[in-house]
Amino acid sequence: MAVGIPCAFCGVRPFTEFTFGGEWRELDAPDAESDFQRVYLPENAEGAQRERWFHVMGCRTWSTVVRDTRTNEVG
Ligand SMILES: [Zn+2]
C-alpha cells in the first residue's frame, strides 16, 4: 500500500500526488547561512521527522507532516 500524505483540503492521498519539499525547519532569523543549511545540509534524522509536502496533483497547497524515516509511517 502506498504511503498516504494527509492534506488539509483533500484528506489522505497517495504520496505520488505530492512533491517532497524537504525537512521542516524553524527559521528564527533567516539569512544566507541558515538558507544554505536548510537546502544543502538536511538533518536526515532516523525516526520521526517533520517534512513539507506539496500537493502538486491536487489542491496545490503545502502540508507539514511527521514521517518516521524508518517505516515511512505518517502521523
Ligand atoms: Zn490537497
| pLDDT tens per residue across span 18-74 | 999 989 877 666 787 777 877 788 888 899 999 999 999 999 999 999 999 999 999
Mean pLDDT across 3-22: 95
Residue 30 backbone zone (phi > 0: left; psi -120 to 50: alpha; other: beta): beta
Going by pLDDT thresholds of 50, 70 and 90, the confidence category of residue 1 is: low
d(CA 19, ligand 1 centre) in Å: 12
Nearby residues of 24 by Cβ (< 8 Å), 6 or more positions away = 50, 51, 52, 64
Q: Which residue has the higher pLDDT, 25 or 4?
A: 4
* Cα 5 to averaged position of ligand 1 atoms, centre (Å): 9
* Spacing, Cα 50 to ligand 1 middle (Å): 18
Indicate yes or no: pTM above 0.85.
no
Ligand 1 mean position to 34 CA, how many Å?
29
Q: What is the whole-number distance in angstroms between the Cα of residue 65 and the centre of ligand 1?
A: 13
Grid coordinates representing 72 are 515511512
Domains of the chain: 4-26+33-68 (3.30.2270.10)
Q: Are 47 and 75 spatial neighbours (Cβ–Cβ below 8 Å)? A: no
Name the burial class of residue 53, with classes exposed (0-12), middle (13-18) and buried (19+) by CB atoms within 10 angstroms of its CB.
buried
